[in-house]
Amino acid sequence: MLIGIYASTGKFVGLGHLKRCMAIAKELENFGHQVEILLDDHLYSEIVINSKLNFSMITDLNKKFRIIIVDKYELDDGFYLSLRKYCDVLVRMDDASPKFRRDNISDAIINGNPYGNMKIYEGVVKSECQLLVGKDYIPMDRNFCDLRSKYKIHTDNQNILVTFGASDCLDYSKDVVTKIGTSFPNKKITLLNGIALQDKIDLKITNVRLLPLVENMQEILITSDIVICSASSICWQLTAVGIPYIAFMTSSNQELSFRYIKKENLGICLDKSCINNGFLEKAIDLYTTGKKEQMFIKGRNLIDCHGSKKIAEKLINLYDR
């Protein structure tokens, strides 16, 4: 089958949508199907190419797909309906709650979050719409599955990774690395997407390594004692591997993730005010070996690394149905 995946990209979106779509694409290809990533712009097209996936621009859409998967926040009813003529099966990725008051278009919905709730779709989607909702359908890159088998609990907190994604919103990155770089001069701090801040970080802070975006961040994660990040999809990946993390809610669409992580004690959740009131430093020190072991076991028992494969299998079966 020819399958299209339309992923959100852009300077304020980051890489989360694209990366999870690419993970599903790889699994669909493993089942022998041809996948094409559909993009709004060329911003991250190189990442798609480097992953050996095909792509085209959504504005050049002129072929018929068996399945189209859409992963976008800003969906317009008219445009979404227009995609219907380019596919037999239309699938929507959904993070929090239904994007439409009534969805008579989608043949399947993927809500790959452990807090996903099927009840919120009752009366909103058509009765035959297939719902792939909850922790079994978290799209996971196979590289994280490999990392899961290699990662061991670290007994110290010397190597701290800071990553707030690929968006142009750099306030959290700047404030966090400045604070912990000053408070813990003996720790090694790595900031992803940090090149954009190289002229904005105090030159007196010498223990911070500023890196560009990296495609295979697993190589950095394997050496990280703690990760400081946004309450986005990276938290499910860290949970599945067993890497301890401190999460901040950097945008309103992360509220459900933030609340779930806090409620289930999967990581330490902090408000933005905690960066400068001393709680960030305390949170780092809270990660004793014992606490890491507890979260390691709990997280790995909750989330496995097979979500992308399960999604691919379900979608193929949906078309064959």
- CATH value at residue 113: 3.40.50.11190
Question: Among 48, 88, 39, 42, which residue's Cα sits nearest to residue 68?
Answer: 88
- Does residue 98 sit in the same domain as residue 182? no
- Average pLDDT on 153-170 reads 86
**What pLDDT does 25 receive?**
96
**What pLDDT does 167 receive?**
62
- Does residue 282 sit in the same domain as residue 211? yes
Greatest CA separation for the chain: 63
**What pLDDT does 177 receive?**
92
Residue 309 scores a pLDDT above 90: yes
- Does residue 169 sit in the same domain as residue 285? yes
Calpha distance 48→36 (Å, rounded): 10
- Does residue 20 sit in the same domain as residue 156? no
CATH number at residue 262: 3.40.50.2000
**What pLDDT does 142 receive?**
84
- Average pLDDT on 253-260 reads 91
Question: Among 188, 227, 228, which residue's Cα sits nearest to residue 207?
Answer: 188
Question: Among 79, 144, 139, 151, which residue's Cα sits nearest to residue 113?
Answer: 139
- Does residue 96 sit in the same domain as residue 217? no
Question: One-letter amino acid identity for 296?
Answer: F
- Does residue 310 sit in the same domain as residue 209? no
Look up the domain containing 129 and give its range. Answer: 2-140+306-320
Name the token pair of 11: 């300077």
- Does residue 147 sit in the same domain as residue 80? no
Cβ burial of 106 (10 Å; 0-12, 13-18, 19+) is buried
How many structural domains is the chain composed of?
2
**What pLDDT does 168 receive?**
59
Calpha distance 281→277 (Å, rounded): 9
Contact 228, 160 (CB under 8 A): yes
Calpha distance 5→18 (Å, rounded): 9
Give the up-direction half-sphere exposure of residue 285: CA atoms within 13 A in the CB hemisphere: 8
Calpha distance 55→314 (Å, rounded): 23
- Does residue 84 sit in the same domain as residue 226? no
Name the token pair of 193: 């997407």
Residues facing residue 313 across a β-bridge: none
- Does residue 153 sit in the same domain as residue 70? no
Hunting for tokens 């306030």 — which residue is that?
171
- Does residue 26 sit in the same domain as residue 95? yes
- Does residue 147 sit in the same domain as residue 285? yes
DSSP tag of 201:
S
Which is more confident, 278 or 252? 278
C-alpha dihedral sign at 259, 190, 208, 283: positive
Residue 36 scores a pLDDT above 70: yes
pTM (whole model) above 0.95: no
- Does residue 127 sit in the same domain as residue 171? no
Instruction: Report the mean per-residue pLDDT for the chain.
Output: 89
